[in-house]
């Protein structure tokens, strides 16, 4: 009887132990589930915060990008001659000034001016003779110049053979590939000829039928005796240096050196654009001035390294050679102010070339306030 009672008691103890064990397992399971839920919530919270942070960064970037003002600049040609502008682009000076710049090449002052007047471009970069032509043609929303970049011609006279002691009268009786009639390359060339007592109409033959961007190929490709074969050509860089490298032509004179200081290229905008985008023009000019400052204070090799992405088809040594050549002839101004004396010289060149019947007042086509402020705010 005692044994039966003990067995019964033992059985009850076992049942209680089993029950306790089950309860403990349930508690442990509950704790594990609770812990898992907490971890899951923490992870979810962290994920949300990470997502929110990423979104915040993205929104900030988008906001910053939205602050940039889009400006389309149409340049007359893409040339190392305009190095300070490319320095400003590659160094990020336009972005610093809040401008998202879209650079387009017009391949000729007539095309660049057309893009400007039709609104395809906000700012034009070309010889200022184009602004004089359109003003005299009666354009109501004409172009006004606000910044002068180059102060000498950027092209060179190329001969078929090397000439050690070149003089301009050696061109008499020869056939020369010039630039487009009425454009700065051609007019400065004729200006130099007249300074050396050479009549452009009677003392030599100047072919003005070929666009200046194609004259190098025409010169190199023509064979003696064929129609269009020229003894000399007038070329911009990098074409001048390329002809020398190919030994198909040789630089014998610099038009920039022999012409003296000439307002060769400048930036302009429509009259209506000034009224609505004065701040943008100022920031644009500020960026350009930074490019001018860098160019004036750094070596040719440093400048070449900066602008090389703009001329991927040209090796660094060639770019350096070209920049050195332009530095030596004092091509670039240190400021962007388009002086009255320079404008009047340009009009005199146009008048001598027979492209101008009357003079245009300086104040009508030039506004120096932006260039002056860019210097004052440095």
Residues 146 and 277 in one domain: yes
DSSP string, 246-282: TTS-EEEEEHHHHH-S---EEEEEEHHHHHH-HHHHH
Separation CA 191–CA 7 (nearest Å): 130
CATH of the domain at 325: 3.40.190.10
Instruction: Give yes or no: residues 202 and 227 share one domain.
Output: yes
Does 14 reside within a domain? no
Chain-centroid distance of CA 129 in Å reads 21
Which pLDDT score, from 0 to 100, does residue 4 have? 42
Residues 274 and 133 grouped into a single domain: yes
Residue 124 lies in a domain: yes
Residues of the chain with pLDDT under 50: 1-45, 47, 49, 53, 56-57, 59-60, 63
Residue 17 located in a structural domain: no
Listed residues 201, 227, 259: the one ending a domain: 259
Contact between 288 and 147 (Cβ < 8 Å): yes
Residues 189 and 125 in one domain: no
pLDDT at 212 (0 to 100)? 75
pLDDT of amino acid 24: 46
Looking at the structure, do residues 171 and 223 belong to the same domain, yes or no? yes
Count of domains observed in the chain: 2
Q: How far apart are CA 348 and CA 355, in angstroms?
A: 10
Range of the domain at 372: 65-151+262-376
| Same domain membership, residue 182 and residue 305 | no
Q: Give pLDDT tens digits for 6-45.
A: 444 444 434 444 333 444 444 444 443 344 443 344 344 4
Residue 51 placed within a domain: no
Which pLDDT score is estimated for 43?
Answer: 40
In a domain, 19, yes or no: no
- Please check whether residues 243 and 112 belong to one and the same domain: no
pLDDT at 11: 42
pLDDT of 283: 98
Contact call for residues 187 and 259 (beta carbons, < 8 A): no
Q: What is the pLDDT of residue 206?
A: 96
- Asked if residue 181 lies in contact with residue 208, where contact means CB atoms within 8 angstroms, the answer is yes
* 112 within a domain of the structure (yes/no): yes
Q: What is the pLDDT of residue 183?
A: 82
Does residue 348 fall inside a structural domain? yes
Residue 81 domain flag:
yes
Q: Does the global pTM surpass 0.75?
A: yes
Q: Using one digit for the tens of pLDDT, what is the confidence trace for 132-188? A: 999 999 999 999 999 999 999 999 999 999 999 999 999 999 999 998 888 888 999
Does residue 359 share a domain with residue 286?
yes
**Can you say how many angstroms the Cα of residue 368 is from the centroid of all Cα atoms in its chain?**
21
- Name every residue whose Cβ is closer than 8 Å to that of residue 158 and which is 6 or more positions away in sequence: 219, 232, 233, 234, 235, 240, 243, 249, 250, 251, 252
Pairing mode of beta strands 175-177, 232-236: parallel
| Domain identity same for 362 and 290 | yes
Query: Quick one: pLDDT at residue 52?
Result: 53
Same-domain check for residues 229 and 268: no
Q: Which of 219, 237, 259 marks a domain boundary?
A: 259
* Domain end among 233, 259, 285: 259
Domain match, 367 and 274 both: yes
237 and 108 co-located in one domain: no
């Amino acid at each position: 009887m005692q044994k039966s009672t003990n067995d019964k008691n033992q059985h009850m103890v076992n049942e209680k132990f089993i029950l306790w064990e089950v309860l403990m397992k349930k508690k442990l399971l509950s704790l594990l589930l609770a812990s898992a839920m907490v971890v899951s919530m923490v992870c979810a919270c962290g994920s949300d915060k990470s997502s929110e942070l990423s979104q915040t960064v993205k929104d900030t970037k988008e906001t910053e990008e939205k602050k940039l003002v889009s400006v389309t600049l149409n340049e007359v040609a893409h040339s190392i001659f305009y190095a300070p502008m490319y320095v400003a682009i590659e160094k990020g000076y336009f972005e610093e000034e809040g401008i998202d710049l879209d650079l387009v090449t017009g391949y000729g002052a007539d095309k660049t001016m057309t893009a400007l007047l039709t609104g395809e471009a906000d700012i034009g970069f070309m010889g200022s003779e184009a602004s004089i032509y359109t003003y005299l043609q009666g354009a109501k929303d004409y172009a006004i110049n606000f910044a002068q970049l180059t102060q000498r011609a950027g092209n060179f006279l190329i001969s078929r053979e090397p000439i050690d002691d070149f003089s301009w009268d050696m061109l008499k009786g020869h056939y020369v590939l010039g630039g487009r009639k009425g454009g700065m390359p051609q007019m400065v060339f004729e200006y130099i000829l007249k300074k050396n007592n050479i009549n452009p109409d009677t003392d030599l033959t100047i072919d003005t039928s070929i666009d200046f961007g194609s004259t190098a190929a025409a010169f190199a490709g023509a064979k003696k005796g064929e129609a269009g074969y020229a003894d000399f050509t007038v070329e911009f860089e990098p074409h001048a240096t390329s002809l020398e490298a190919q030994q198909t032509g040789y630089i014998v004179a610099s038009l920039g050196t022999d012409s003296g200081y000439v307002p060769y290229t400048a930036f302009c905008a429509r009259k209506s654009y000034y009224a609505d985008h004065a701040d943008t023009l100022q920031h644009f000019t500020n960026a350009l001035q930074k490019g001018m400052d860098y160019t004036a204070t750094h070596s040719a090799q440093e400048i070449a390294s900066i602008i090389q992405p703009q001329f991927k088809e040209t090796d660094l040594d060639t770019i350096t050679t070209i920049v050195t050549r332009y530095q030596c002839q004092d091509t670039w101004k240190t400021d962007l102010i388009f002086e009255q004396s320079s404008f009047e010289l340009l009009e005199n060149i146009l008048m001598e070339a027979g492209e101008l019947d009357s003079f245009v007042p300086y104040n009508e086509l030039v506004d120096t306030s932006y260039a002056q402020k860019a210097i004052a705010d440095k």
